[in-house]
Each structure stands twice: as C-alpha cells, then as structure tokens.
Chain A
Amino acid sequence: MRKILRYTLVALLTLSCVSVSAQSEPAKGGIINVAMIGEPPTLDPMVSTADLVGTITQHIFETLYTFNGKSQVIPLLANAMPTLSDDGKTYVIPLRHGVTFHNGQPMTAKDVLASLQRWEKISSRGRQTAEKITELSAPDDYTIKIVLNQPYAPMLALLSLNNSAAVIMPEAQTTESPLTTFIGTGPYQLKSHQPDRFIQLVRFVGYHNLEGAPDGYGGARKQYLDEIRFVPVTDPNTRVEGAISGQFEYVDSLPVESFNKIQGGKDKPVLLKPYGWPVFVMNTKQGVASNILIRKAIQAALAPQDMMTAAFGSPEFFTLDGAMYPKGNIWHTEEDTSLYRSMGDTAKAQQLLKQANYQGQPLRILTSRQYEFHYKLAQVAQAYLEAAGFKVQLDVQEWASLTQNRANPARWDMYISHSPFLPEPSLTGIMSDTSPGWWSTDKKHAALQAFNSETDPQKRIALWANVQKAIYEDVPMFKVGNFNALAAQSPRLQGVTPAPWPYFWNAYLTQ
C-alpha cells in the first residue's frame, strides 16, 4: 500500500512538474504574417540605414554586440565585452565558440575579419568609422583586434546597430556586392523572397542560443515560431484594414489617428511610447539659415504645441519635450531646454529678425507627404514663421526627390525629417559634419570630441549635456517633440516587446 502511495505521489509530482514547465515555456510552432510599410530596398543590412531593412534583416544576420533593454551594449556574437587598452585605442574582442552560419559552417575570426572589412568599405557608418581604424586583425581563430588612431567611444554602439550594420557573414559571402546570398548566424534564415509579395524566414535549426533570459535585442533569442513572413503592404489604409480584419499577426507603422478604429478590430493596438522625434534640420552652410540669428529667430518663432497637435492629434500620441532624449533614458538632460517654448515667442523672433537685417528672402522648407505628419508640421510652422515676419516657401516633394535635393545646399534652408531615439547619441545625423545641414562649428567639435573620446559611460552622460547645449546655442536643428508609434498585434501573438525595430524571436502564438 505504501509503495502504491509512493508511486502515486511520484507520478503526481512528475505530472505537476511537466505541467509547470509547459506553462512557463511556450509551445513551439506557428507562422506569423507581419505587414510592413513596403518592400525593403535591399536585404543587405550593411548597405542601408533604412529602419525597414534593419527590422527584417536583424532576424537573419547578427552583430558582435547589441543593445539590451536599457540601451546598453551587451555581447551577441562576441563572447564578452572587449578588453580596452589604457589609452582607449585598442579593443580586443573575444568571439563565441560553437556559432554556426545558416550553411552549417562554423563562425571564426576569419569570417568576422572579412565582414568588418566589408563593412568598412560599403557601409556608410563603416566608412566613417574606418577613418579612425588603423589596424583590424585576427590574432587567433576566436579573437578580433581593433586599433584606433584616437579614443572613439561610439565604436561599440556602431558594432551593435542593426542598420548600416557590422553584421557577420561567411568570408566567402563578403566579396559579394550586392549580396546575392543571405547567410547569417541569426535565429531565422531566409527561405524565399518574392519582391512585393513576401519575405519568408524559417527557424534556423542550428542556432546557437545564448543562455539566460531575453534582454532587449540581446540575451536569449528563443525560436518559438516556425516561420515569420514579412509582407509589404504599402498603403497605410490597407494596413489598417488588415489589422482590423486580423489578416496579419502584427502590423507595423500605422497612422496614429486609426487608434480607435483598430481598438474595435481583431488585432489590438500597440503603442511604442515614445518612438522618436520629428526634426527641422537647418542649412548652416548656405542661404538664409546660414545666419545664426535667423536660426535663432526660427527657434523662437516655432510653436511645438500647435505643430505636434496638428501632426499627431491627441496628446496621447506625443509629448512636448525639448530634450534630445526623453525622461527615463540614460541620455536625458534638461540642459538649455529653456530655449524650447511650447507656444513660441513671436516678439523675440521679430526682434532677432531685425538684428539679422532680414530682407524678406524666402525661407525654403523642404518637406514631403511620404510621412503625412512632416507635411502637417510644415504647414503649422509656415503660419508661425510668417507671423514672425518670415517669407516662407514650402517645397513639397516626394521622398526620393527630397533625399536627393537635401544633399544640395543651394536648394533648401530647412528640411523635415524624423528619427527614433538611437541608443548612441553621436550616431544622430547632424553629428557628422558632412550630413545635410553641414553643422560644423568649434563649439560643436569641442563638445563632441570630448564626448566621443571619453570611454567611461558615466562621464559620457555628463558630457552629453554639453553637446545638447551646443545644439541649442548653434541651432543646427529644431527638435519639435517626442511622438509615439502605433502598431497592431493579434491577441494570439505573445512575447513581442515594443521596440523601434520590432523583432519576433521570443514571440510565440497561443491557441
């Protein structure tokens, strides 16, 4: 009798353990369809800085480092954080053992070296970094050594980003440009790609996962789903209807005004709060805005509250914030944000215009309707600038024309763009002297040089305040505020963490 009781107890305990583990570990399987804003221009993440390219290809390719939930750099294909020499110029990066590519070939330092050399040649971020690299070598099969000509703190962030990305691919593939094979080490591999129809990714069976818990883009990358299909749905209204009908398990980039409509549908709205910041970049090189007094007059004239309300509607979808990074982010600082006024200061703008001896030259604002909020921001800005005494010329162009024209300083005075909050501030466009806007002053160089040379993360946070101060004093741009991004997700789809570049490892389907 005792024996039976003991066996029964053991059986019950085993059953309860099985059921507990079944509850804690989601079941594998299932296919998800993810509606994206369009067809990516390329599947080579080194070539493009486009978010769409990074979002899709981060499932296929991996970088040496990535960002955790707090936007800090953590190892991914690297085995640990690098050893940094005392002078801050030499990085020794240990690589993980046992990582294989989708073709079954093991990853070694040879592949990493060839990939980083390709990145230096063909990636815009890589080319900028190459100017600072004096030696790139592989001392042994599992070590990479990078020697810089000066300390450069953004180095690790550059090795972590998923666009214009330093992804690792087999050495043989690195000679391809453009890429024709897409073999990486990521949790999902490319099975089939029919342009404008779908990009089909399937689980990579030989994936060598990191131990521990998922942490932002890093940590363990669980492969619950069998397949991820990225489907281009160019028309935003069709994406909204797709979310309402439940055709897709995830729908990216929806117009915020469709929030209430989506709430009544099969997929449920997901807000990424905050997602990014719209910006008016000023031409500091040529034309009317090259005069700092004019730029200061623009800064005084603009009224972010009305602009953001016109662009995003309800305050639920935006916040008025002059800081370059939102509250809660490690880079947040209020330095000089007193110059950001929610309703502008027309009198001060008029006074500055008088000081600048403004003669009524047209202020040419380059914008597009590719992103409807850009256009709405421009319309309200036009009204406020005209009230201050500016003569405004709104040049509405389609996006491809705008991206070409903004490279020519003779064609514009301000252009409108937006950006997500990048984990490393110095990667923001205007930090480069050659980026359209061409902000290049001694004040900027001094602040940025000190910020980029400092490798101590805590000291860098304090130094960032000086860069933000330089932005407010030189006015190379006007940050309008913070805005939220809207996506939709099926209630069946779990494990997706809202992120600027959504990822679907760790995601799973419930019954």
Chain B
Amino acid sequence: MIRSTLHRLFGMAVVMAIVISLVFLIVHITPGDPAAVMLGPDATGADIAALRDQMGLNAPLWQQFFHYIIGVLHGDLGRSIFLNIPVTEALWQRAEPTFFLTLMALLVATLIALPVGILSAYYRGSWFDQIATSVAMLSASIPSFWLGLLFIQFFAVKLGWFDTSGYGGPTATFGERMNHLLLPALSLGAVCSALIMRFTRASMLDVLNDDYVRTARAKGMSEYRVVVKHAFKNALIPVVTVIGLTAALLISGAIVTETVFGIPGVGSLTVSAVLRRDYPVIQGTLLVISGLYVLMNFAVDMLYLWIDPRVRY
C-alpha cells in the first residue's frame, strides 16, 4: 500500500513537471502581447516595445523559464501583469465561487445521475429507460454555454427568479452569493450528469445479472435491499471513477460557465488572462487546474483501495 502510494506520488510529480514546462512554452509561443493589450489600440510599436522591456518580456525565454521554475519551487507563481497582485492571491480571491460552483454542480449531477442510472438499469428497455437514455444523450451533446443561455432566458428573464449574471454587489452576503451560483451550477451539473448516469446504468446492468444478486433475491430479500445494498455497492467502482473525473472536469468546465454567467472565479480569471496574455496568471491557473486534476485522480485511485481491498497497483 505504501509502495503503491509512493509510486503514484512520483508519477504525479513527473506529470506536473511536464505540465509546467508545456504550459510555459505554449503560453510564450502563442502570438499576442500583454503590453499591446495594456496600452490599447492606438499605441505605437515603440511604446509597446518599451513596456515589454519594463515587464521583463524581452529577456531570453530560457531565462524567463528559469526564473519561473525557481519561483514555483518556492511557492511563488509570479505577479499578475494586469491585476498587479501575486498570482496566488488572485487565485485565492477567486477560489470561493469556483469551489462552491464545482461542489454544487457535482451535487446536481450526482443527484440527477445516480437515481436515474439505477432506475434505468433496473427497468432496462422500458419507456423510462428509453427516455432517460435519450435525455442523457441529448445532455451530453449540449454545450454548457448554450444550456446556460437557455437557463438564463427561462429562469432569469422569463420567470425572474435569478439575476442573469454576476456574483452580487459589494454588500452581498454569503447566501446571496450562493444564490448567484444556483443557475450556473444547474446548467453545469445537468450537462455533466449525462456521463455519470450512463456509467451508473452500464455498471448496474453488469452486476444485476450476477449470481450473488440472484442469490439475494432467492433468499427473499426486498428488491430495494437487493438493488441498493448489494448491486449498487458493487457497481460503485466505475461510478466513483467517473464522478472523480467529472469533478476535475467541472473545475475546467467552469471556465465557460463562469464566463457566460459573469462569475468571478478561477475560470473567468483564466479566460481574461488568456485574452490579455497575462502570462503569470495563465501559467498559475493552468498549473492549479492541472494539479487539482492530478490530485483528483490520485484520490480516486486511493478510494479504489478503500472500496475494494482486492485492488492492487
């Protein structure tokens, strides 16, 4: 167990080193210039060059990479060009909406997907199964931004239940801020629920025909106990994997949803950083998102060991 954990941790470190290098390279190779964005459309080439020099962007790429790596090893992700604050501080400021949006979306996705997936497998081939499978297919095909706009039109404009965008004003309480996350969480969760539902259904179909399920039924156990206590528990491993991966996907998927709903989270920070070429912020956010993705995978692997002690790496 310890050996396999250490093995996994080493793998994670290698992946992160590759991610850091790739992100740095891609960000700096991509055309675009933070100085040009900062100075605006009427700035001259000389003005842009002078500001680039001031920002240290004219130094050789290897030198910039070296400084960046030394900084990352010391926990310093650099300073945002546009926000004029450390990247870690910018990320920390944006953590609240992204964390709760992901959590709420995951909750929405799981609450929809698990019961529907179980029922769909149990009533395989029925009208319920057919409708649920079709809806899941449709949800999986819908881009989250489009569903977001539909939700805005219906829930915010037509019914007036929510604001169309934003995260509340300067005096917004925690509850009001969370209220602003309901609609984006619903649209993000609905899209992600399709994948979890399909995995739950497939996994349940596998176990529902197993001998121990037949035995449990033969012993006169209630259908509820057979399906939920016996079959579902054994169908859980692939479902946990997909929920873990979905959680990681939600963090990156929030990028689009946050932009559509004007939520000032890590996703919108990433988008604005990319559009402005705020290099330190792009590197920082991608590093954190990749780190969370890797960590989530690690957590799922560790969960396997707990759910099924027979699993060995």
Binding site for B on A (CB under 8 A): 33, 38-39, 41-42, 47-50, 53, 124-125, 127-128, 163-164, 178, 180, 191-192, 194-198, 200, 229, 231-235, 237-238, 241-242, 244-245, 247, 265, 397-401, 403-405, 407, 417, 427, 429, 432, 434-436
Q: Is the CB of B40 within 8 A of A234?
A: no
User: Quick one: CB contact mask for B154-178 with A, threshold 8 Å, 1 for yes?
Assistant: 0011001001111101100000000
Residue in contact with B38 in the complex, picked from A48, A128, A195, A197, CB distance below 8 Å: A48
Given contacts A245-B160, A434-B46, contact A401 B260 (CB under 8 A): no
| A-chain residues with CB within 8 Å of residue B41 when the two chains form the complex | 49-50, 403, 417, 429
| Alpha-carbon distance A198/B177, docked complex (angstroms) | 14
Residue in contact with B262 in the complex, picked from A200, A231, A400, CB distance below 8 Å: A231
Check: B58 CB closer than 8 A to any chain A CB. Answer: no
Given contacts A38-B272, A198-B170, A233-B262, contact A242 B164 (CB under 8 A): yes
State how many angstroms separate the Cβ of A394 from the closest Cβ of chain B: 16
Residue in contact with A48 in the complex, picked from B40, B94, B153, CB distance below 8 Å: B40
| Alpha-carbon distance A49/B42, docked complex (angstroms) | 6
State how many angstroms separate the Cβ of B93 from the closest Cβ of chain A: 8
| Alpha-carbon distance A242/B164, docked complex (angstroms) | 6
Given contacts A247-B163, A405-B31, contact A197 B42 (CB under 8 A): no
| Alpha-carbon distance A263/B151, docked complex (angstroms) | 21
Pick the 7 closest A-B CB pairs, nearest first.
A49-B40, A400-B32, A196-B264, A401-B31, A49-B42, A50-B40, A197-B264
Q: Is the CB of B149 within 8 A of A238?
A: yes
Given contacts A237-B149, A398-B275, contact A245 B164 (CB under 8 A): yes
Residue in chain A with minimal CB distance to B153:
A241
Q: Is the CB of A400 within 8 A of B264?
A: no
Q: Is the CB of B264 within 8 A of A404?
A: no
Given contacts A49-B39, A241-B152, contact A400 B277 (CB under 8 A): yes
Given contacts A47-B39, A400-B37, A403-B41, contact A197 B166 (CB under 8 A): yes
| B-chain residues with CB within 8 Å of residue A417 when the two chains form the complex | 41
| B-chain residues with CB within 8 Å of residue A125 when the two chains form the complex | 42
| B-chain residues with CB within 8 Å of residue A400 when the two chains form the complex | 31-33, 36-37, 275-277
| B-chain residues with CB within 8 Å of residue A229 when the two chains form the complex | 169-170
Besides the contacts A198-B170, A400-B277, what 9 more A-B pairs have beta carbons closer than 8 Å?
A: A49-B41, A50-B41, A127-B47, A164-B42, A238-B261, A265-B157, A400-B33, A400-B275, A434-B46
| B-chain residues with CB within 8 Å of residue A436 when the two chains form the complex | 45
Check: B87 CB closer than 8 A to any chain A CB. Answer: no
State how many angstroms separate the Cβ of B178 from the closest Cβ of chain A: 15
Q: Is the CB of B262 within 8 A of A234?
A: yes
| B-chain residues with CB within 8 Å of residue A38 when the two chains form the complex | 272
Residues 39 to 91 of chain B near chain A (Cβ within 8 Å): 39-48, 82-84, 90
| Alpha-carbon distance A235/B152, docked complex (angstroms) | 12
Check: B252 CB closer than 8 A to any chain A CB. Answer: no
| B-chain residues with CB within 8 Å of residue A124 when the two chains form the complex | 39-40, 42-44, 47
Q: Is the CB of B164 within 8 A of A196?
A: no
Residue in chain B with minimal CB distance to A401:
B31
| A-chain residues with CB within 8 Å of residue B42 when the two chains form the complex | 49, 124-125, 163-164, 427, 429, 435
| Alpha-carbon distance A435/B33, docked complex (angstroms) | 17
What are 8 pairs between A and B in contact, CB < 8 Å? Answer: A124-B40, A124-B42, A235-B259, A241-B152, A241-B157, A245-B160, A404-B31, A434-B44
Q: Is the CB of B262 within 8 A of A235?
A: yes
Given contacts A200-B170, A403-B37, contact A247 B165 (CB under 8 A): yes
Q: Is the CB of A196 within 8 A of B39?
A: no
Residue in contact with A399 in the complex, picked from B153, B157, B275, CB distance below 8 Å: B275
| B-chain residues with CB within 8 Å of residue A398 when the two chains form the complex | 32, 275
Residue in contact with B84 in the complex, picked from A178, A194, A233, A401, CB distance below 8 Å: A178
State how many angstroms separate the Cβ of B98 from the closest Cβ of chain A: 12
- Kindly count the residue-residue contacts between A and B in the assembled complex, taking CB atoms under 8 Å apart: 148
> Interface size bucket, B side?
35 or more
| Alpha-carbon distance A50/B40, docked complex (angstroms) | 5
Q: Is the CB of A48 within 8 A of B31?
A: no
Residue in chain B with minimal CB distance to A245:
B157
Given contacts A50-B41, A247-B163, contact A235 B260 (CB under 8 A): yes
State how many angstroms separate the Cβ of B191 from the closest Cβ of chain A: 17
| A-chain residues with CB within 8 Å of residue B31 when the two chains form the complex | 397, 400-401, 404-405
| B-chain residues with CB within 8 Å of residue A178 when the two chains form the complex | 84
Check: B268 CB closer than 8 A to any chain A CB. Answer: yes
| Alpha-carbon distance A219/B31, docked complex (angstroms) | 45
| B-chain residues with CB within 8 Å of residue A231 when the two chains form the complex | 166, 262
| Alpha-carbon distance A124/B90, docked complex (angstroms) | 29
| Alpha-carbon distance A192/B171, docked complex (angstroms) | 11
Q: Is the CB of A42 within 8 A of B33?
A: no
| Alpha-carbon distance A89/B44, docked complex (angstroms) | 26
| Alpha-carbon distance A282/B126, docked complex (angstroms) | 65
Q: Is the CB of B43 within 8 A of A49?
A: yes
Check: B271 CB closer than 8 A to any chain A CB. Answer: yes
Residue in contact with B37 in the complex, picked from A41, A191, A200, CB distance below 8 Å: A41
Check: B239 CB closer than 8 A to any chain A CB. Answer: no
| Alpha-carbon distance A404/B46, docked complex (angstroms) | 12
Q: Is the CB of B166 within 8 A of A245?
A: no
Q: Is the CB of A195 within 8 A of B44?
A: no
Check: B141 CB closer than 8 A to any chain A CB. Answer: no
Residue in chain B with minimal CB distance to A411:
B31
Residue in chain A with minimal CB distance to B146:
A237
| Alpha-carbon distance A50/B43, docked complex (angstroms) | 10
| A-chain residues with CB within 8 Å of residue B261 when the two chains form the complex | 238
Residue in contact with B271 in the complex, picked from A200, A234, A247, CB distance below 8 Å: A234
Q: Is the CB of A232 within 8 A of B262?
A: yes
Q: Is the CB of B262 within 8 A of A238?
A: yes
Residue in chain A with minimal CB distance to B168:
A197
Residue in contact with B40 in the complex, picked from A53, A232, A247, CB distance below 8 Å: A53
| Alpha-carbon distance A265/B82, docked complex (angstroms) | 36
Q: Is the CB of B83 within 8 A of A195?
A: yes
| A-chain residues with CB within 8 Å of residue B268 when the two chains form the complex | 196, 234
Residue in contact with A401 in the complex, picked from B30, B167, B262, B272, CB distance below 8 Å: B30
| Alpha-carbon distance A427/B32, docked complex (angstroms) | 25
Q: Is the CB of B153 within 8 A of A407?
A: no
Q: Is the CB of B166 within 8 A of A403?
A: no
| Alpha-carbon distance A244/B149, docked complex (angstroms) | 13
Q: Is the CB of A41 within 8 A of B264?
A: no
State how many angstroms separate the Cβ of A129 from the closest Cβ of chain B: 13
Q: Is the CB of B44 within 8 A of A435?
A: yes
User: Quick one: CB contact mask for B213-241 with A, threshold 8 Å, 1 for yes?
Assistant: 00000000000000000000000000000
Which of A41, A200, A405 has the most B CB atoms < 10 Å from its CB? A41
| A-chain residues with CB within 8 Å of residue B149 when the two chains form the complex | 237-238, 241
Given contacts A242-B165, A404-B32, contact A41 B262 (CB under 8 A): no
Check: B269 CB closer than 8 A to any chain A CB. Answer: yes
| A-chain residues with CB within 8 Å of residue B262 when the two chains form the complex | 196, 231-235, 238
Q: Is the CB of A196 within 8 A of B272?
A: yes
| B-chain residues with CB within 8 Å of residue A403 when the two chains form the complex | 32-33, 36-37, 41
